[in-house]
Every structure is written in structure tokens, then in C-alpha cells.
Structure 1
Amino acid sequence: MKRMILLALALSACTHKTPDKATHVQHLATTYVSTLPSRGIDYSAKIERVAFGSCANQDEPQPIWNTIAATHPDLFLFTGDNIYGSWSGQQPLAEQYRKLDLFPEYRAVREKVPFMATWDDHDFGQRDGGQEWAGKDAARRDFMNYWTYTRNSMPLEQGGVYHSKIIGPKKQMVQVIMLDTRYYRSPLKERPGFEGKAMNYIPQDEGTILGDPQWEWFEAQLKRPADVRFIVSSIQLIADDPQFEKWGNFPKERQRFFDLIKSTRAKNVIVISGDRHIASIAKTDLKGYGPLYDITASSLNRPNKYPDADSHYVGLTYNQENFGLAEIDWKKKTVTMQIRSMENKIVNSVEIKLK
């Protein structure tokens, strides 16, 4: 273990230098297959508590894992930006996964709690990146090497990292659908005057977020029997006012999502998202379906001090370190979705009645 830590620190120090081309290519070829002792998923186990979160920079402390452990979740969902590998000095991706494994607080949770994960832009390898990113297949390789459970969750020839699991006994089945909002996503349309500056995008009539293969797969998943469905989208689905990345940048794709929920008659759908470095609960009412909630938990260790507002938000946003917790009460047939602080205080919540 000591040797592993020293090696990681040495490699980390090297990444802050500007390598020549040959060295850079050699670094990009680095692989890391995680051997971290981790709890596997018991698919027959009853799920009552699901923790979730996003945006965890492996070069900064991560004490919030101690708080998460104190809630005793049955499952943790990593919803994107699980590492940061798109900034200068944070390549190759494989080395960033190795650094994540060195946090004792994180290791302690992995040993006791099963994890599922999808990626966002920073663990995809390109900030705000999509289908145009040349390194996406290498990033997928690194993702699967680290999240080794995915090797049995999706075909090797599949594009992207989308996959799903159903956990729990009959009449208490929890489905987790991990979407991939990166691999197939069309290029974003930048606001005139902000070209090349990122983070200021406008809606466009054409383009896709999921891509046709994933849309077909997604429909099939929604038709599977389940009593609660958590759909994980790394970017926000419902919030529409901020100029950042969101489903609202592709309004036809977002409407397709809403229409698919209705046409498949998928009950008890709850969307979970990350990305924004603020925590929020958003709600929309779908005609012929009812209320749909999107709970955003972000960030685990990279808070932003700016305010945020959206016409769909329910309650206040929270911009310090946070995580989400879903508490399922099977007897009362409710799911309480909470945003919790570093101090484990509930800063926003909503109770959703199961159908």
C-alpha cells in the first residue's frame, strides 16, 4: 500500500509538467485495473436507502465519504465527474482513478456499499465533450477497467457506458438505469459572442443526446417490471433556465424522454442528476402522466459559491458540499428524496408517493 501511494504521488507530481509528445503518448497508454476491495451487488436484497453524488476531484480532500457512510446506504450511485481528467495536469484518466482509490474515507465506503456509476464530461475526458471527442473509446476502456462490474453489464462492442440493474425481491424491485449523455451527444450550440468560451449554450432544433442505439435500449429498459425506477442522467433533465449543459439544449430530445416515459407507462420514475456544482430539486408535470422530479446532487468536494435559480426548482438550492439520499418506505409506499450537507443535515427534500 505504501509503495502504491508513493507511486501515485510521484506520477501526480509529474503530470504538472508539460511532457514532450512521445512522453504524452506513453502516458495516454497507461491502464489501471482497480483491485480495490469492494462490495458487490446482492440482487435479491431489499433496497431502502440509496445515496448518490457527483463531481469528486481526486486532487482535493474528500471527507464527505464519512458523512455518507453514516447514513448506511444500501447502494451508492456515482452520477458523473467521478474523477477529473479533462484539465491540464490531470491525465491520463487511468492515473486519476488510481488516485481516487487512495482516499481512506472512500475506500471504507466501497468495502461496505455496492456502487454503480456513469460518467460526465470530466471522466469522459473532454470538458463539455460529446460524440466529437477523439478519446472517447479510450475513456470507455478506462471506465470499464475501473468499474469492473460493468464488464458483465454491457456488451464490449457497445458504444458508451449505459447499463441498468434491477435489485430487490418481488414487489420491491428497484431499477437503476444509468444513461450515457456523452458518447453519442451532438456538438453543443454556443451563444453568439461566447464561441470557444464554453458554459454558455443555447437550444438547437437538431441533434441528439442519447443516440439511436441508446434510445432503443432505454425504451426496452422502461418496459421491464420494476416498482421504483431511478434514471441517472449526468446532466439536468428538467431545469431549463441556466445557460449551462442540460437536456434543454436539445428540446426535441427532452420531449422524446417525456414521451417515452408516458408511452411505456413506466411507473414511479425518479430522475437523478449531477454536473452543476449545486444541489436542487426540480419538478415538471407531464400531461397524462403526473409529476416528474429531477434531484441534482453536486458537488461532493468542489462547491461553487454562485447563486442558481430555475422556474422548475422546488425549495432552495444548496451550493456547498452535498450528496443525495433516497429513502424508500415500502410500507407507506413513499420515496423521500433528500439533499444532505457535509454535516448530514437535510437542506432540501421532497416526498414522492408511489403508484
Structure 2
Amino acid sequence: MGPSAFIGQPAANQEDYWIAKGLLQSIGMVGADPWKGVPMPPRRPPPELYRFESRAPTLVTAYAISMTLMITITLTRLGLRAFSKRIRWGLDDTLMIFAFALALTWPALGLACVTYGGDGKHMYDVTYQQYRVFKYIGSIRSIIFYEAVAFIKMSIIAFNMRLTGLTSRRWMIVHWTLMSLMVVFAILPIFFGVFLLDPPRARFDLVFAGKLDTPPKMAIDIFATSYTLIGIHVTSDVLLLGFFGIVLWKLQMSWAIKLRLFLVFAFGALSFAAAVKWQLAQKTLKVDPLWHHSNQIAWSLVDLTAGLTVASLPVLSSLFVLAFNSIKGSLRSYSFTGASSRNTAPRSGPSSEAGFIVSG
């Protein structure tokens, strides 16, 4: 089988034909001849105006930075939980392992889309074979994203349960209700993603869709599913931040601890903003989607990275407190007792604030 043709050009081989047929069906051109190609906008400029453009380097850089942050933050948090005698392993840490694996899978699949699926290019610079790969991986990525978000929120809820254990059973009921909502939120993307089309495989494989005697049918409204998932995502962000603020206000602890914890979870507003921006960015994908969806990718990365950071910062903040106390103790010892007395000066231990966050 020879090389694949670019989208918009006539199909170069039999597999191009099936992919083109599947694409034509998806845009409502059921009666069009697949051998003539798919007239998807924008059209290729004339040779004298054509200039190759690609956002692939920018996408690769964004993926690399996000993955580095995810790995550094999460492994440091899990390392503290696993190897420190002062820190108890909890449900939030177990859930974080799943959240981390899913969140890291999303940009990894993004790199595969760039490498093999033509992501970041104009549609007229993408071959039929490349778009088939992009469609297959992209359909899986859409499910993975929401699974990662759901497990991140579950981990945050589980951490909040450690705090609400110091208040009342009512708050535990509230958080278990939120946890149940997140379980449903984790199931819905799988259901919507798999059963969006009838037959389900047509959602992922354009060749399979093109070989069907009758075009695949839309089993679930794609706009309804999108608004449902993003609505739950945004609403749960608001509820988590709101409930956390109320619980934090009622807890008996120093204002220094309250301020630090509040600032940590206020960082979660980035996730809320990213979810809204992600939804707005979808409106630009009607024309030249592989070129224009870079904004959507950027906000998705912000959402996942900020979510993992928020879930891990309460644990990581203990490192900052211990380091600050250690530096402050060393400077105080040097200033008031002199260099000769440094060996006999009392060592500064962890503060009660750090102990609270570390022990959960």
C-alpha cells in the first residue's frame, strides 16, 4: 500500500478510501464519492501562497513541562507519605496514585498525537492515515482526561475527610456524598465515550466506520455529554472550594495554618478557570481543528497540573515549614550565641503547624 494522501486530495489507496468515507459520513456528506477526497476547510493555499506551519514544537514543549511538574510534585508527595515515619499513608494517597497515572497518560498520548497523528498542523498538511491515528488516540484521550480529573477530586475529598474528622459527622456525610458524585463522574465519560456512536467502534476507528453498509448513528448527543461533564467538573470545583473554606473556618488551629491551607486550596481556582476556558476553546474547533485546538490543550494541561498540585501541596507545604524553621533556627543561633556555640544550640524541631499538615 502506497503513501497516504493529504486530506482534501483524492484518496491514494483503498485504506484512504475507507477513512475518507468515514470522514464524509461524520460531516453529513453521505452520498459524496470518497475517491475524490474530503473537502474539509480550510483548503490548501495555492503554491505561491503556501507556507508550511506547525505548532508541534510548542505542543511538545508544553507536554514536557507539564509532565515534569506532574512527576516532580506527585512523586515528592508520595515519597513523603511512604518513607516518613511522621506521615500516615491514607486513602487520599492511594487515590493520588491512580490520578497521577491517568494525568500523566493524557500528555503522553498527546505526544503520540503529535508524532503520529499530525497534531498541530493545518488539516491540508495532515494525511488520511495520520488523521485516523489522531481520531483513535483523541477519542481515548477525551475519556482519560475526565478520569484523571475525577480521581484528583477524589483524592482532595479524601484529604478533606482527614480535616473534617476533627469537626463533626455531618461534614463526613457531605464529603462522602461528594465522593459518590465523583464516582458517577468517573463512570459517565466511559459510558459517553464508548457508546456515543452505534456501533461503538465507529467512534474510534474511521476505517471501520467507512466499511459499514449504513453510516453509524449518533446514540448520545455529543453537545449534551460535553456540557454535562464540564458542568459537573466546574460545579464540583466550586463545592470543594466552598466546603473546604467553611470547614477550615470552624477548625481549631492557628491562623497561620488556616492561611497556609486556604492559600493552597485557593490555587484550585486555576482548575476552575481552566475548565471554563477549555469549554470556550471548543468553539474554535469547527474549522481546522488540529491547528486550533492548541488553546484547548493548554487549558487542559493547566487543569490537570493545577489539580495534582492542589492535591499534593498540603503535604509538600510541610517541607517549606520545616526548611523555614531550620533556617530561622540556624540564623538565630549564629546571631545570638556566636559561631562557637552552634554545636550546643538546641535544634529547632518541626512546628505544630507542620505536624498538623504532615499527620493529616
TM-score bracket for the superposition, by shorter chain length: under 0.3
Q: Tell me which protein shows more helix as a share of its residues.
A: 2
TM-score by length of 1: 0.23
Q: Tell me which protein shows more strand as a share of its residues.
A: 1
TM-score by length of 2: 0.23
Q: Which has the larger radius of gyration?
A: 2
